[in-house]
A and B are shown apart, each in its own frame.
Chain A
Amino acid sequence: MSSNDFEAVIGIEIHVQLNTKSKIFSSDSTTFDSGDNENTSPVSVGMPGTLPVLNKKAVEFAVKTGLALGCNVSQKSVFARKNYFYPDLPKGYQISQHDKPICEGGSVSFVVDGVKKTVSITRAHMEEDAGKSLHHGDCTLINYNRAGIPLLEVVSGPDMHSPAEAAQYCRTVRQIVRYLEVCDGNMEEGSLRCDCNVSVKRKNESTLGTKVEIKNVNSFRFVEKAIEYEIERQIEVLERGESIIQETRLWDPDKNRTFTMRVKEDAQDYRYFPEPDLLPVTITQESIDKIRQHLPELPANRRERFKSDFGLSDHDADLLTSEREIADYFEETASACKNAKAAANWIMSELLRELNQGSKQIQESSLKPSDLGALIRLIDEGTISGKIAKTVFQEMWVTGKSPQEIVKEKGLVQITDPQVIEALVEQVLNENSQQVAAHKSGAKKNLFGYFVGAVMKASKGQANPDLVNKIIQEKLKS
Chain B
Amino acid sequence: MIDKKTIQNIAKLARLKISEVEADDYSQQLTQVMDYFERISKIDTSGVEPLVTPAEIEVHWREDVVEQEHTAEDMVANAPARAGNLFKVPPVV
Which of A's residues lie within 8 Å of B, judged by CB?
Answer: 20-22, 27-29, 35-42, 45, 53-59, 78, 83, 85-87, 133-144, 269, 271, 274, 276, 279-282
Contact = CB atoms under 8 A, between A and B. Distances in A.
Contacts of B87: 37, 87, 141-144
A22 B62 contact: yes
Contact of B89 (A29, A36, A142, A282): A142
Given A41-B68, A57-B64, A139-B83, 12 more contacts: A29-B68, A37-B85, A40-B75, A53-B60, A55-B61, A55-B64, A58-B64, A86-B92, A141-B87, A141-B89, A142-B86, A274-B52
Nearest to A36: B85
Interface of B: 13, 15, 52-53, 55-57, 59-72, 75-76, 81, 83-93
B76 A22 contact: no
Contacts of A39: 68
Contacts of A274: 52-53
A216 B13 CA distance: 26
A280 B89 CA distance: 34
A144 B86 CA distance: 8
Main secondary structure, interface of A, reads loop
Nearest to B83: A141
30 contacts: A21-B64, A21-B65, A22-B64, A28-B66, A29-B66, A29-B68, A35-B72, A38-B71, A38-B85, A40-B72, A41-B75, A53-B60, A53-B61, A54-B62, A55-B62, A56-B63, A56-B64, A133-B92, A135-B91, A135-B93, A139-B81, A139-B91, A141-B88, A142-B86, A143-B86, A271-B13, A274-B52, A276-B53, A279-B56, A282-B59
A389 to B, nearest CB: 46
A27 B66 contact: yes
A136 B83 CA distance: 12
B41 to A, nearest CB: 16
A271 B14 CA distance: 10
Nearest to B72: A37
Contacts of A140: 88-93
A141 B86 contact: yes
Contacts of A135: 91-93
A404 B5 CA distance: 84
A85 B68 contact: no
Contacts of A78: 52
Listed from nearest, the 5 A-B pairs whose CB atoms lie closest are A57-B64, A27-B67, A141-B86, A36-B85, A56-B61
Contacts of A133: 92
Contacts of B85: 35-38
